[in-house]
């Protein structure tokens, strides 16, 4: 419908997978694999930022840095869509304060050998 889309991820294989899916679906998009926060500087301004995945699994201190970097590319009055775990999962996990929940999930993944 005329939207310009940019996919950004820290895992090159994720970017490549989305690139291939867009090619199959004939979706025109840009793709950026980042190694450090400064890589985000090359992004244009967006009307909408949809944060999916890693921003809900990283420690809060890291998430804050990344969100601040991305917000610089969101036009004034733009929309920030942040996908998160369902409330029922948070309740099942013990209703931990949100300021600690991402750190707890990251620690669990590390123990399970999941990067």
Res 84: pLDDT: 76
User: Alpha-carbon distance 28 to 62, whole Å?
Assistant: 30
* C-alpha to C-alpha distances, 82 to 23, 49, 55, 56, 79, nearest whole angstrom: 26, 8, 8, 8, 10
Res 7: pLDDT: 94
Give the E-state strand segments of 34-93 in sequence order: 46-51, 74-82
For the chain, the structural domain boundaries read: 34-86
Q: Are 36 and 66 in contact (CB under 8 A)?
A: no
pLDDT, one tens digit for every residue, the chain (115 residues): 778 999 999 889 999 999 999 999 999 999 999 998 899 999 999 999 998 876 776 777 888 888 899 999 999 999 999 887 777 877 887 888 866 766 665 555 444 444 4
């Amino acid at each position: 419908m005329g939207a310009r889309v940019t996919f950004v991820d820290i895992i090159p294989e994720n970017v490549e997978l989305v690139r291939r899916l867009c090619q199959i679906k004939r979706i025109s998009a840009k793709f950026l694999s980042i190694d450090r926060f400064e890589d985000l500087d090359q992004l244009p301004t967006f009307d909408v930022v949809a944060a999916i995945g890693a921003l809900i699994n990283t420690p809060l201190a890291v998430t804050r840095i990344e969100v601040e970097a991305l917000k610089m590319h969101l036009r004034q009055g733009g929309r920030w869509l942040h996908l998160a775990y369902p409330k029922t999962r948070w309740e099942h996990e013990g209703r931990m304060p949100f300021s600690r929940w991402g750190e707890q999930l990251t620690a669990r993944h590390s123990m399970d050998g999941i990067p």
